[in-house]
Amino acid sequence: MDLPFKDTIHTFVLDSAIHRLGKINPDSADRKVIKRFKYIGEEPDVIVRIWTGDPHFICEHPKEPLFKDSIYSFTVCFHHKGKRGKMRKRMGFKLMNDVLIPIIFEGEYVE
């Protein structure tokens, strides 16, 4: 699988550091978005904690050690019901060496 990784944040390479969700229907069912990253660190590392801005959160992520040049996925669970205006949520991972990997999701709720 050839994924378009282009943004590097510390030891993670993602398709984008800012994920644009576009127009979001706030009355639609809440949804999950699956994203992938490539780990490029020289030494194995572990995600020790996820951080987020409620009510959206990273609901699935790798719990095993991360190894160089391996591709992993994570899932973000969004709760859009009743939301209005623009959405910009920052969330991410904290690695065992205290490095934070921030990821941003943006969109706009339509009426």
Among residues of the chain, what percentage have pLDDT more than 70?
95
pTM of the model: 0.86
User: pLDDT at position 3, please?
Assistant: 65
Higher pLDDT, 3 or 111: 111
CB-count burial class (<10 Å; 0-12, 13-18, 19+) for 12 = buried
Per-residue pLDDT reduced to its tens digit, 54-92: 778 899 999 999 999 999 999 999 888 888 899 999 999
pLDDT confidence band for 12 (50 / 70 / 90): very high
pLDDT band per the 50, 70, 90 thresholds, residue 42: very high
pLDDT higher than threshold 70 for residue 29: no
List of domains in the chain: 7-109 (2.60.40.10)
1 has pLDDT over 60? no
* pLDDT at residue 58, rounded to an integer: 93
